[in-house]
């Protein structure tokens, strides 16, 4: 899919949520988790007063993702009662023999949750992993016995109201619920690649280079400012006269003096947003 997008052959399929999710997370599988997946998802945040990150929350709960040696990516594992989350990540083989850890990721692109109120999507998925995990069809999930209950809601936009609604629904079902739905933006993946780039192997850089081009092509990159002017432009502004002056025989003419006069007439005034 990445090469089809970069060469204009994708016919727009990269904008479909499932294709986008499988493309990016499918490629993350081939990069060491400690330099891609983990720093990406650890930057997810709660909508609380402190904007607590997933990393901070897991640390306070005694969970260190970077101590796990293995990560299994499980795409679209169906729960018989509560639906089909996009991705379930199972972290295994902890260096200190701690319990395995399960994290659910629900990814959106241009759409919102596919269910609200009593049918709230995130509330359903929380219930599925918290109290109905045995009804997942994928045995890696249904047989899981470690730490769980955390959800990352991955979107392109702000999701405060959506997560708040989900939290209210979850609290109706679980009286002892503490905030465990974190928000993460797709754009953060681009930032993660840039931040971790010096740590990548040669092969990983080839993968990341394609992913950066892919994300840039479909607009999943934050505005990062404009480049500073080069030395030539800086020198031009340090001259005695303004940059547009033309020193011809000491005549103080400007670039604009050499342009033809234009007489532009409008038949009617046009205002943005008006009639």
Q: What is the pLDDT of residues 135-173, one digit of tens each?
A: 999 999 999 999 999 999 999 989 999 999 999 999 999
Contacts of 99 (CB under 8 A, 6+ apart): 145, 146, 147
pLDDT at 192: 96
**pLDDT in the model for residue 217:** 85
Given this model, what pLDDT does residue 204 score? 97
What pLDDT shows up at residue 262?
60
Q: What is the pLDDT of residue 18?
A: 85
- Sign, CA dihedral 122-181-173-129, equals positive
Q: Count the Cβ atoms, other than its own, within 10 Å of residue 165.
A: 16
User: Which residue, 70, 238, 2, is CA-closest to 10?
Assistant: 2
Token pair in block for residue 195 = 């931040």
Q: What is the dihedral of CA 7, 9, 14, 20, to 10 degrees?
A: -60
What is the per-residue pLDDT for 197? 96
**What pLDDT shows up at residue 275?**
46
Give the per-residue pLDDT at 189.
Answer: 96
Going by the DSSP 8-state scheme, the letter that residue 53 receives in this structure is B
Q: What is the pLDDT of residue 219?
A: 84
Residue 90: its pLDDT value, please?
98
Each residue's pLDDT tens digit in the chain (275 positions)? 566 665 666 556 555 788 889 889 999 999 999 999 999 999 999 999 999 999 999 999 999 999 999 999 999 999 999 999 999 999 999 999 999 999 999 999 888 888 889 999 999 999 999 999 999 999 999 999 999 999 999 999 899 999 999 999 999 999 889 899 999 999 999 999 999 999 999 999 999 999 999 888 888 886 555 555 555 555 555 555 555 555 555 555 665 566 666 665 655 555 555 44
Q: Which residues contact 244 (CB under 8 A, 6 or more apart)?
A: 254, 255, 256
Residue 251, helix vs strand vs coil: strand
What pLDDT shows up at residue 122?
97
pLDDT at 271: 54
């Amino acid at each position: 899919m990445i090469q089809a997008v970069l060469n204009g052959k994708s016919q727009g399929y990269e904008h479909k949520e499932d294709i986008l999710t499988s493309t990016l997370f499918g490629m993350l599988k081939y990069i060491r988790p400690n330099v891609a997946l983990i720093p990406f998802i650890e930057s997810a945040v709660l909508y609380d007063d402190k904007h607590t990150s997933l990393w901070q929350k897991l640390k306070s709960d005694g969970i260190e993702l970077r101590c796990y040696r293995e990560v299994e990516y499980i795409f679209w594992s169906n729960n018989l009662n509560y639906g089909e989350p996009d991705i379930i990540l199972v972290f295994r083989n902890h260096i200190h023999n701690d319990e395995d850890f399960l994290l659910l990721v629900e990814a959106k692109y241009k759409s919102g949750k596919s269910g609200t109120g009593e049918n709230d999507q995130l509330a359903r998925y929380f219930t599925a992993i918290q109290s109905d995990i045995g009804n997942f069809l994928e045995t890696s999930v249904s047989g899981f016995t470690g730490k769980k209950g955390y959800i990352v809601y991955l979107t392109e936009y702000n999701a405060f109201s959506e997560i708040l609604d989900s939290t209210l629904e979850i609290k109706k079902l679980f009286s002892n619920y503490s905030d465990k739905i974190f928000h993460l933006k797709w754009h953060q993946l681009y930032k993660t690649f840039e931040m971790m780039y010096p740590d990548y192997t040669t092969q990983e850089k080839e993968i990341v280079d394609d992913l950066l081009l892919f994300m840039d092509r479909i607009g999943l990159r934050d505005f990062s400012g404009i480049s500073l002017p080069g030395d030539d432009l800086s020198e031009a502004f340090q001259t005695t006269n303004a940059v547009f002056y033309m020193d011809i025989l000491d005549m103080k003419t400007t670039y604009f003096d050499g342009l033809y006069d234009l007489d532009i007439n409008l038949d009617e005034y046009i205002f943005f947003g008006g009639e």
